[in-house]
A and B are shown apart, each in its own frame.
Chain A
């Protein structure tokens, strides 16, 4: 089975609101995590990453939070825009250096 999963398969937000996408992982030895965005029919694109020795990292309009105690990862998108509509995946780097992905959350931004 997959070691990385998501709490919600779909999320719908109003344009301008903040979005929070959650992810649970099971491998406590995972040392590196990435969030990807995938638009329909395309390959995933990197959004932001975080190492296991950090609990927060910020990018442009995005923030990733890592809670190792409960093995939880979240992606926060500020001022969500229509162009943010996509499927978002979290991925974890296992100790074999293989990247494992969760099922994804589809984010829909309503105008």
Chain B
């Protein structure tokens, strides 16, 4: 089945450690997105990519990094520079052109101990 897969679903990290969240899609979508969601809050855009080997910062990119070496994959690294990384992270994809729904993964919940 076509879809978007995030892993791991739950992740615990010690302060000062980097962690990478995986996002893979087999929908043949060009555009991919990472959002952060805090409890009782909306989704805030971290990074997005509209094509392979290109990506743009969203509203809260500080402390995060991404890569887009393959069309299917858009991993997010939460670095030690992110001061408050505990959150629910959502990856999404869609076709380009500015129209069309975002397809979301099931999310990754990161907890910093």
Contacts and interface: CB of A to CB of B under 8 A. Distances in A.
A64 interface: no
Given A42-B107, A43-B104, A44-B104, A98 B33 contact: yes
Given A41-B107, A104-B42, A97 B50 contact: yes
Nearest to A4: B42
Contacts of B18: none
Contact of A43 (B31, B44, B98, B106): B106
A49 B94 CA distance: 14
Interface residues of B, number: 27
* Interface bracket on A: 20 to 34
A101 B35 contact: yes
B96 A97 contact: yes
Interface of A: 2, 31-32, 34, 36, 41-46, 49, 51, 89, 91, 93, 96-104
Interface of B: 31, 33, 35, 41-45, 48, 50, 56, 58-59, 90, 92, 96-99, 101-107, 109
The 7 A-B pairs with the shortest beta carbon distances in the complex, nearest first, are: A43-B104, A101-B43, A103-B42, A46-B101, A97-B98, A101-B42, A104-B42
